Amino acid sequence: MKNKIRGVFPPHNKNTAYGKVEKLPVPPEVHIPMKMHSGKPAIPVVKVGDEVKIGRLIGEMGGTVSSPIHSSVSGVVKRINERDPVTGQKAVSITIESDGMQTRCPELKPQIITCKEDFYNAIRDSGAVGLGGAGYPAWSKLSRVNLDELDYIIINGAECEPYVTTDTYTMYSDAKNVYRGVQLLLKYMQPKAKVYICIENNKRPAISVMQEIFAGDDRVEIKVLPTLYPQGERKVLVANVTGRVVPEGARLSEVGVIVTNVTTIAVFARYIKTGLPLVYRTLTIDGPAVRNPKNVLAPIGTPLRALFKYCGLIGGEPKKIITGGPMMGIAQPSMDVPVVKTTNCVLAFPDSADIEPKVTVCIKCGRCLSVCPMSLMPPNIEVSYENGRLDALRHYKVNMCVECGSCAYICPAKRPLVQVMQLSKEKLWLDEQKEKGIS
């Protein structure tokens, strides 16, 4: 990676930054999937007919890389489906009918932390996962890192995707929990690593709040970064902040760095203070089809339909719904898909926004190369994929692609470059499985 800063400048559309977060009315039902994180799915520990209260454990960790799941409403367990009825994915989902009371579990209480083990256990029990979208269990990441080989802890508040403003909200309006989380981390993990809180320079009010609250703490530096997509992508961030390149197939910790999302820090800090695990999600609801874009606080498991009902839609059912930002988000099949732990944003687009781009031949302009944060050569990868050249796909290091979409965004020929990257990676993966005798 020769040039450290490469990327694109999509319109920010940060329409909801610095507005207040509104509490969504409790939906009649929530659908809580047991797989909202990387690793093994959680295992249900309730049965149909059980009464639950907010914060009650409903899914226990299914392995060492997993996360516990708690009820986000008070009410009665109505269904436990083996297969998600909305997405069709094979993942157990628990449907809870709300009693509208939102009664908290009486056992929820502040956590007493006296040592590193207590701290890690509290992170685990909070249900915190990477809330920027990765969903990696925070406990697994923090408790396994070799502190002697850790040089940087990067707290990611870059929030480079258009529209999304939930991390900005956390830094601006929930700064005390960010501060508390970082202090707990420093106190109990005692890393010799430098802590950077990284924020793009288009978030001046949030930067000011972070600078003020951490003033005088020389273990923590607020790193103000140029506004550039995909600045917040983990490997890109590591390269831009530390100059270290994460080799193909390696973990960030192998270059002495961990990256954790800023809202994740606030979530486990709040759990330690109050005992309330991750059962609500702050998320941005926006997009050209949304009448009143807002940030809301929604119980996990809330159907997207309830969010749109609250914010209003222009012109009826949207043509396209995306969870996450418009660059790396995921198109959703239905408005009944639930909010999960990693849902930081829901976007709705009208018919007019769903025009299929007219794909033309590559004109070899080189724009995609100039914006690729990983210094890849998308046209060469595309040709290699089309010709079935696995050796060339390896040579051009397609597995280094972070699927940021910058190449496709800038391409005047509208080549479907991200899809090609994804398909190429899948092809290589299948080939490796074959080599290992796993079909």
Binding residues for ligand SF4, rule: CB under 6 A, are 362-368, 372-374, 376, 378-379, 401-407, 410-413, 415, 417-418, 421
- What does the block give as tokens for 348? 């709705």
How far is residue 437 CA from its own chain's centroid?
Answer: 33
- What does the block give as tokens for 236? 């890109």
CB atoms within 10 A of CB 14: 18
CB 134, min distance to ligand SF4, A: 16
CB 355, min distance to ligand SF4, A: 19
Judged by beta carbon, residue 207 or residue 408, the one nearer ligand SF4 is 408
CB 428, min distance to ligand SF4, A: 14
CB 371, min distance to ligand SF4, A: 6
Judged by beta carbon, residue 27 or residue 373, the one nearer ligand SF4 is 373
Among 284, 336, 371, 370, residue whose Cα is nearest residue 21: 284
Judged by beta carbon, residue 77 or residue 252, the one nearer ligand SF4 is 252
Looking at residue 301, what DSSP letter applies?
T
Judged by beta carbon, residue 155 or residue 374, the one nearer ligand SF4 is 374
Judged by beta carbon, residue 1 or residue 129, the one nearer ligand SF4 is 1
Reduced to 3 states, what is the DSSP secondary structure of residue 106? coil
CB 422, min distance to ligand SF4, A: 9
Judged by beta carbon, residue 313 or residue 383, the one nearer ligand SF4 is 383
CB 413, min distance to ligand SF4, A: 4
- What does the block give as tokens for 244? 């270290």
Distance CA 94, CA 85 (A): 11
Judged by beta carbon, residue 24 or residue 404, the one nearer ligand SF4 is 404
CB 359, min distance to ligand SF4, A: 10
307: Cβ–Cβ under 8 A, 6 or more apart, which residues?
Answer: 24, 283, 285, 296, 298, 339, 346
Judged by beta carbon, residue 80 or residue 362, the one nearer ligand SF4 is 362
Helices (H) and strands (E) in the chain, counts: 13, 17
298 φ, ψ to 5°?
A: -125, 140
CB 167, min distance to ligand SF4, A: 21
Write the DSSP string, 328-389: T-EE-S-TTPBP-TT--EEEEE-GGG-PPP---------HHHHH-TT---HHHHHHHHHTT-
CB 412, min distance to ligand SF4, A: 6
What's the residue count for the chain?
A: 439
Among 256, 243, 235, 157, residue whose Cα is nearest residue 402: 235
Judged by beta carbon, residue 364 or residue 436, the one nearer ligand SF4 is 364
Reduced to 3 states, what is the DSSP secondary structure of residue 185? helix
CB 319, min distance to ligand SF4, A: 24
Strands of 257-261's sheet in order across? 220-225, 194-200, 152-156, 257-261
Judged by beta carbon, residue 17 or residue 421, the one nearer ligand SF4 is 421
Among 277, 288, 340, residue whose Cα is nearest residue 312: 288
Among 261, 236, 237, residue whose Cα is nearest residue 129: 261
Residues 14, 286 contacting (CB under 8 angstroms): no
